[in-house]
Each structure stands twice: as structure tokens, then as C-alpha cells.
């Protein structure tokens, strides 16, 4: 019953709002968790594509190092850029043709299916939803569901139309 | 008494449960359902998310016995960790295609402004059709992922109408976003109007799971273009990470506020 008097701000306590906390990220603690995630990723890749974890291991090890370096940069570089942005930039850098080892990296990560690597994150995502999030979704009602769908269609189609226009102009 | 061992076994159960869900999801694999205007594509990430919800302690009470509150909290932390190798793999698709990315550069940069389409489509629906109040401002100014939600929390507080709107879209997006982003691109592609490169670069909306769903659906529909699809989506997603918060802060939110005041001048007078 006490829950009924909770304000939405109380429900928000569990929401992931502390993105900036990456500045205080514990790189060593994350290294261990990342190892678990990579192991599950290798198995997802194995079941999904039939590629043995041993074949895919060098590629996964490379991605692991890229992630750790990216997290460390997010932690120590004196301006804010999210960890995922750093990780992406490093991954791009080490695969640009001409960069030493780029061909090897591209060949190794080819053994990993991109979609299989996302499966573990979504499983954690489903398990991580808290009662608050279900409550917010329920309390917001059907109007919010319609608006949310319009928002998703809007952001996608808005980008599609602009991108298509400028691709045509560029030709 | 159960302190440390309890936490450790809760964490162990969590990872084993995730492993089981992942194996089942990958075994089911990609499924295609042809409908009139295109093909609806079901991806393993969808099953993984749905299975995760099914055994979530908040839904399935028996899970609470071995998944403690701490384990659920750890699961939340694991999302950001587990998406990292995926983001890294995505980045490696950009390097080899770098010249094609630069070629598409202007379109790639400008389509970031297309994210304002949330306002174009959702704002009229929320304000004129559904007669929503100031919730509409928080709900429609952006796709309301974490950074956008933080901006609303900072400006209005989450305990405000704007905050309620933003949180509603956030929670709904979390629940059905993967599904919407998996089925939308193949259907839009089926219309045959748009360049597949435009469809690909629009996948970068700043959310890892939506990115995965969007590109997964698109690659399943157009497998021979896989390399360029992944590379463009990855590049656009990085741009959104870098610019999304600023576009929201300096363009989208002021614009939505202005539109709301134009649409409901009486409310503004009442405030003043």
C-alpha cells in the first residue's frame, strides 16, 4: 500500500541516470565482469553460427582489449565522452587499412557474428528490469505507448528522409 | 549470515541464467514472417529480452528465491558491460569501409538532425490527438534514452509532468523498443523508396539494443549489403553518442517548449 503514495521520482531511483559516473568507473572491477560477458558472447557466437570458441578467441581477445582501453580513456581523459564512444573509436582505428595489424584484426573479428554479441546484453536487460520500470510503464497508460511508438518511428524516419535526400544530392 | 556467500551465489545464478537464455535464444535463431508489405523479422536478441523478462523476479516470483535484489542490480550493471564487445565489434566494421563512410559524410552528419523527427511525428499526436499536457514536452523532444532522460531530470526534475512523460517513453522504449526497431527497417526497405545506406545510418539512435535490433533486421532483409550497413550504422551511432545530448539541450528541447507554448497559449498566460 505504501507504494501507492510513491511519487514518480521515487520510482526513478532505480533508473540508470548516472551516465556521468563513468568518470569514476572502476576499470579493474569492470575487467572481470567484461571477461564473463566475453565468455558468454563466445558461447552465443558458437551456438548461433557454429564457429568454435577457439577459432573466435583471438578476435574476442582483441575486442576485450579495445573495451578495456576505451573504458580507461573514458576514466582518465579530462573531457567527457562516453566509454562506448571511446571503445568505438579504438575499434575503428585498429581496422583502418594501413594501420599496422589492421588486416589481422579484421580477419579475426570476422569470426564473430555482431548480433550474437548483443544477445547476452539483452538477456541481462530483461532480468535487470525492476518493479519500478514495469510500474512506470503501466501507470503511464496507453497514451504513452502510442507516443513512444511515434517517437521511435519519428526519429528513424526523420533520419531516413534527411539521409536519403543528401545521398541523392551527393550523387 | 548469508551476506557475502549470498551475494556471490546470486551473481553466479544470474550469469548461469543469462547463459541458458542466450543458448536457447541462439538455438531458435532468426525467424522470418512474411506479411503483405514486407517481412517481419524476429531476432535472437528479442527472445533473450523476452525470456529475461519472463524469469525476472518482479514478474516470476519464484525467481526471487535465487535472484536477490543485488543480483538484479548487478544485471543492470552487466547490460553496459555486455554491450561493450558488441559496440567494439561494430566499430571494427567501420575501419575497412572508411572511404565509403567519408563519401557518405554529409548525409551521415545531417541525418543526426533527422532525430528531430520525434517532434515532427510525436508532438502533434501527443498534443492535438491525445490532448496530453506538459508530459508531451518530455515525452516527444527526443527518443528519451538515458542521456535525454538525465537532461529532463536536470531541467524539470523527474517528479514533474515533463519528467513523467520522459520516463513513460523511456520505460515503454525499454520494453518494446527492440521489437519496434527490429520490424520497422525491413518494412520501410520493402517500400522500395529509400537508399539502403539511408536506412542503415538511421539505425544509430544512441541505444545499443535498438542499434542491434535495427541493423539485425536490415541485414536479415538485405544480406548482401551487410558490410556497408554495419559500418554506416556504427558510424552514425557514434555521432549520436557524441552529439545527441547537445542537440537535445540546445535544439530539440527549446524547440519543443516553443511549440508547446504556441499550441497552448492559454496555459502560458495562466503561468505568468
Average model confidence (pLDDT) across chain B: 86
Nearest-CB residue to B122 (from A48, A150, A159): A150
Mutation target to probe the A interface, by most A beta carbons within 10 A, among B51, B92, B245 is B92
CB-CB neighbors (< 8 A) of B15 in chain A: 36, 40
DSSP-derived 3-state class of residue B205: coil
CB-CB neighbors (< 8 A) of B145 in chain A: none
Say if the Cβ atoms of A162 and B89 lie within 8 Å: no
Say if the Cβ atoms of B115 and A147 lie within 8 Å: no
Nearest partner of B63 among B107, B20, B34, judged by Cα: B20
Q: Residue B7 — very low, low, confident or very high, per pLDDT cuts 50/70/90?
A: low
| Nearest residue of A to residue B199, measured between CA atoms | A160
Nearest partner of B88 among A120, A48, A60, A25, judged by Cα: A60
* A1 has a pLDDT exceeding 70: no
CB B52 within 8 A of CB A2: no
Q: How far apart are CA B17 and CA A123, in angstroms?
A: 9
| Nearest residue of B to residue A119, measured between CA atoms | B45
CB-CB neighbors (< 8 A) of A171 in chain B: none
| Nearest residue of B to residue A141, measured between CA atoms | B168
* A6 has a pLDDT exceeding 50: no
CB-CB neighbors (< 8 A) of A159 in chain B: 111-112, 114-115, 117, 198, 201-202, 205, 236
What is the reported pTM?
0.81
Query: A158 to each of A119, A154, B140, B154, how far by Cα in Å?
Result: 28, 6, 13, 27
Say if the Cβ atoms of B174 and A125 lie within 8 Å: yes
Q: What is the dihedral of CA A162, A165, A167, A168, to 10 degrees?
A: 180
| B192 touching chain A per CB within 8 A | no
H or E segment at B32? strand B31-35
A23-46: per-residue pLDDT in tens? 566 777 888 999 999 999 999 999
- State whether ipTM is beyond 0.95: no
CB B218 within 8 A of CB B182: no
DSSP-derived 3-state class of residue B49: helix
DSSP-derived 3-state class of residue B41: strand
CB B31 within 8 A of CB A133: no
Q: Residue A20 — very low, low, confident or very high, per pLDDT cuts 50/70/90?
A: very low
Q: How far apart are CA B131 and CA B161, in angstroms?
A: 14
Q: Greater confidence, A75 or A95?
A: A95
| B148 touching chain A per CB within 8 A | no
Q: Residue B24 — very low, low, confident or very high, per pLDDT cuts 50/70/90?
A: very high
Greatest Cα-to-Cα distance within chain B, rounded to the nearest angstrom: 64
Residues 198-227 on B with a CB inside 8 Å of A are 198-199, 201-203, 205, 208-210, 212, 214-216, 219
H or E segment at A56? helix A53-76
| Nearest residue of A to residue B26, measured between CA atoms | A48
Q: Greater confidence, B266 or B17?
A: B17
Q: What is the pLDDT of residue A165?
A: 92
Nearest-CB residue to A159 (from B87, B177, B202): B202
Q: How far apart are CA B230 and CA B212, in angstroms?
A: 10
Say if the Cβ atoms of A123 and B22 lie within 8 Å: yes
Q: How far apart are CA B191 and CA A27, in angstroms?
A: 46
Say if the Cβ atoms of B79 and A124 lie within 8 Å: yes
Q: What is the pLDDT of residue A28?
A: 79
Q: Greater confidence, B62 or A8?
A: B62
| Nearest residue of B to residue A13, measured between CA atoms | B158
DSSP-derived 3-state class of residue B34: strand
B100-147: per-residue pLDDT in tens? 888 888 888 888 888 888 899 999 999 999 888 888 999 999 888 877
DSSP-derived 3-state class of residue B145: coil
Say if the Cβ atoms of B175 and A137 lie within 8 Å: yes
Q: How far apart are CA B198 and CA B185, in angstroms?
A: 10
Three cell numbers at A8?
514518480
* B13 has a pLDDT exceeding 50: yes
Say if the Cβ atoms of A160 and B168 lie within 8 Å: no
Burial of A144: CB neighbours in 10 Å, binned 0-12, 13-18, 19+: buried
Three cell numbers at B196?
539502403
Q: What is the pLDDT of residue A2?
A: 38
Amino acid at each position: 500500500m505504501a507504494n501507492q503514495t510513491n511519487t514518480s521520482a521515487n520510482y526513478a531511483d532505480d533508473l540508470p541516470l548516472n551516465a556521468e559516473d563513468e568518470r569514476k568507473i572502476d576499470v579493474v572491477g569492470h575487467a572481470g565482469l567484461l571477461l564473463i560477458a566475453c565468455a558468454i558472447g563466445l558461447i552465443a557466437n558458437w551456438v548461433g553460427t557454429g564457429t568454435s570458441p577457439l577459432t573466435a578467441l583471438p578476435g574476442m581477445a582483441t575486442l576485450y582489449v579495445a573495451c578495456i582501453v576505451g573504458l580507461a580513456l573514458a576514466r582518465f581523459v579530462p573531457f567527457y565522452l562516453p566509454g562506448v564512444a571511446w571503445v568505438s573509436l579504438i575499434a575503428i582505428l585498429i581496422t583502418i587499412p594501413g594501420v599496422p595489424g589492421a588486416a589481422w584484426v579484421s580477419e579475426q573479428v570476422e569470426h564473430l557474428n555482431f548480433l550474437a554479441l548483443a544477445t547476452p546484453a539483452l538477456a541481462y536487460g530483461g532480468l535487470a528490469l525492476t518493479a519500478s520500470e514495469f510500474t512506470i510503464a503501466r501507470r503511464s497508460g496507453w497514451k504513452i505507448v502510442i507516443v513512444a511508438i511515434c517517437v521511435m518511428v519519428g526519429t528513424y524516419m526523420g533520419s531516413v528522409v534527411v539521409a536519403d535526400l543528401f545521398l541523392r544530392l551527393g550523387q | 549470515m548469508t551476506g557475502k556467500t549470498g551475494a556471490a551465489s546470486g551473481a553466479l545464478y544470474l550469469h548461469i541464467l543469462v547463459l541458458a537464455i542466450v543458448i536457447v535464444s541462439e538455438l531458435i535463431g532468426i525467424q522470418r514472417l512474411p506479411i503483405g508489405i514486407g517481412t517481419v523479422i524476429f531476432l535472437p536478441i528479442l527472445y533473450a529480452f523476452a525470456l529475461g523478462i519472463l524469469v525476472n523476479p518482479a514478474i516470476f516470483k519464484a525467481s526471487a528465491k535465487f535472484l536477490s535484489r543485488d543480483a538484479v542490480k548487478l544485471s543492470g550493471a552487466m547490460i553496459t558491460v555486455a554491450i561493450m564487445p558488441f559496440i567494439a565489434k561494430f566499430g571494427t566494421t567501420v575501419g575497412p569501409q572508411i572511404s565509403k563512410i567519408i563519401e557518405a559524410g554529409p548525409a551521415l552528419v545531417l541525418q543526426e538532425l533527422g532525430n528531430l523527427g520525434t517532434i515532427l511525428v510525436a508532438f502533434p499526436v501527443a498534443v492535438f490527438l491525445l490532448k496530453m499536457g506538459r508530459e508531451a514536452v518530455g515525452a516527444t523532444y527526443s527518443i528519451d534514452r538515458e542521456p535525454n532522460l538525465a537532461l529532463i531530470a536536470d531541467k524539470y526534475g523527474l517528479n514533474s509532468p515533463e519528467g513523467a512523460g520522459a520516463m513513460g517513453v523511456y520505460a515503454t522504449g525499454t520494453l518494446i523498443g527492440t521489437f519496434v526497431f527490429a520490424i520497422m527497417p525491413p518494412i520501410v526497405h520493402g517500400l522500395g523508396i529509400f537508399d539502403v545506406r539511408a536506412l542503415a545510418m538511421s539505425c544509430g539512435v544512441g541505444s545499443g539494443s535498438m542499434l542491434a535490433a535495427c541493423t539485425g533486421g536490415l541485414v536479415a532483409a538485405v544480406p548482401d549489403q551487410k558490410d556497408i550497413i554495419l559500418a554506416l550504422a556504427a558510424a552514425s551511432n557514434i555521432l549520436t553518442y557524441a552529439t545527441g545530448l547537445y542537440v537535445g539541450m540546445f535544439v530539440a528541447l527549446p524547440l519543443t517548449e516553443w511549440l508547446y507554448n504556441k499550441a497552448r497559449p492559454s496555459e502560458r498566460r495562466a503561468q505568468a
